Amino acid sequence: AQSVTQPDIHITVSEGASLELRCNYSYGATPYLFWYVQSPGQGLQLLLKYFSGDTLVQGIKGFEAEFKRSQSSFNLRKPSVHWSDAAEYFCAVGATGRRALTFGSGTRLQVQP
Amino acid sequence: SQTIHQWPATLVQPVGSPLSLECTVEGTSNPNLYWYRQAAGRGLQLLFYSVGIGQISSEVPQNLSASRPQDRQFILSSKKLLLSDSGFYLCAWSTTEKLFFGSGTQLSVL
């Protein structure tokens, strides 16, 4: 069965600083990988996804993520964080033939002025 | 365009009372539908998913149930709520590539 680990529960960065949120997955084959963002009291919005091809994926709001098979990782990055990026971020993995996604426990991002 | 509606947005219920959360999808037919729960400080846990009318798969045994009486309607129910049922419940639907979430229901069981 697939699983997802987000080792950082809470991260605080200064506005304008770079950001990297870590995600490690466990799955026997090539996974489908996703990053979602959840603002307080809201549903989840898809930031980006990886299915195949180029391992560096561009998403919305200036985010990108890189799939590294050798490290079983799919870390989310942003070169310059904005105050509006403060939210909770979830990494998720999907498997071939399985319709539902498995989510990590989330990383809460706080942005300091 | 496709939209997903989920209600109510917030709900406070006493222990032992019944529950019914409703989710409807517009702009698509025969969607895969899901119920997730997010407990405070935790990730999302898949509760149920459905690939068609009357077809429900349960991921976690518990006192919740789900039904799909119509193609684009997905209902989460309980006959008697427990304190541990408190959490943020999210309905979702998917294409082959994306999972779209509703705005969620914050359930507090007191």
B41-89: pLDDT as tens digits: 667 888 998 988 988 988 876 789 999 999 999 999 999 999 989 988 9
Please state, in angstroms and rounded to a whole number, the distance separating the CA atoms of residues B52 and B22.
16
Contacts of A24 (CB under 8 A, 6+ apart): A4, A5, A6, A7, A71, A72, A73, A74
In this complex, do A46 and B51 lie within 8 Å of one another by their Cβ atoms? no
Mean pLDDT calculated for residue range B104-109: 91
pLDDT tens-place string over residues A79-112: 999 999 999 999 998 866 556 788 888 999 999 9
In this complex, do A103 and B100 lie within 8 Å of one another by their Cβ atoms? no
What single-letter amino acid sits at B49?
Y
**Of A18 and B88, the one with more pLDDT:** A18
Residue A39's pLDDT band (cuts 50, 70, 90): confident
Give residue B41's pLDDT: 62
Give residue B110's pLDDT: 94
| Smallest CA–CA distance from A6 into chain B, residue | B43
**Of A10 and A46, the one with more pLDDT:** A10
Chain A neighbors of B92, CB-CB under 8 A: 44
Please state, in angstroms and rounded to a whole number, the distance separating the CA atoms of residues B104 and B110.
19
Task: Please say whether the beta carbons of A73 and A35 come within 8 A.
Answer: no
Give residue B40's pLDDT: 66
In this complex, do B51 and A90 lie within 8 Å of one another by their Cβ atoms? no
